[in-house]
Amino acid sequence: MSTDARVFSKAWKRKYSCLAALGPVLCWLALPLLAALIVLAVAAPGHRAEVFLRLFSLALMVGLPLGLVAQYFQPRWGYRQLREALAAKLRERDGVAPEQWGGIVVGWSPGPQTKNWEGDTDCDVGFLFLGPSYLTYLGDLVRFSLRREGVWMLDQSVSSGPWLPGKRILVGHTWPDGYQHFFTLDSRETANMYGRSAANRSLYALLDAWWRGTAQLTTDPPAVSDGPPETGPELPPAKPMASGGGHVLAIFGGVAIGLVFGVIAGVVLRLMAGVSGPITLLIAFFVSLVVGNIAGVVLLRVLPRPEEKS
pLDDT in tens, 74-85: 767 778 888 999
Measured over the CA atoms of residue 245, residue 249, residue 250 and residue 252, the dihedral's sign is positive
Asked if 136 and 224 count as a contact pair (C-beta separation under 8 A), the reply is yes
Q: Supply the pLDDT for residue 218.
A: 86
Do residues 226 and 175 touch, judged by C-beta distance below 8 A?
Answer: yes
What are the Cα distances from residue 42, in Å, to 35, 37, 47, 189?
A: 11, 8, 10, 46
Helices and strands, number each (H, E), in the chain:
7, 10
Instruction: Estimate the share of the chain in helix, then strand, then coil, as percent rounded to the nearest 5.
Output: 50, 20, 30
Give strand pairing partners of 236: none
H-assigned helices in the chain: 10-20, 22-42, 48-73, 79-93, 196-212, 244-267, 277-302
* Residue range 287-298, pLDDT digits in tens: 776 777 676 666
Alpha-carbon distance of 263 to 280, in angstroms, equals 10
Q: What's the CA gap between 75 and 70, in Å, rounded?
A: 9
Q: Give the integer Cα–Cα distance in Å for 152 and 7.
A: 32
CA distance linking residue 249 with residue 300, whole number of Å: 8
- pLDDT (tens place) for every residue of the chain, 310 residues total: 445 688 988 888 877 777 776 777 777 777 767 766 776 677 666 666 666 666 766 676 677 677 767 776 776 777 888 899 999 999 999 999 998 888 999 999 999 988 888 878 899 999 999 999 999 999 999 999 999 999 999 999 887 776 677 789 999 999 887 888 899 999 998 877 777 888 899 999 999 999 999 988 889 898 887 667 777 667 888 877 665 555 566 667 767 777 787 778 777 777 766 666 666 776 777 677 677 767 666 666 555 555 444 3
pTM: 0.73
Round to whole Å and give the CA distance between 40 and 36: 6
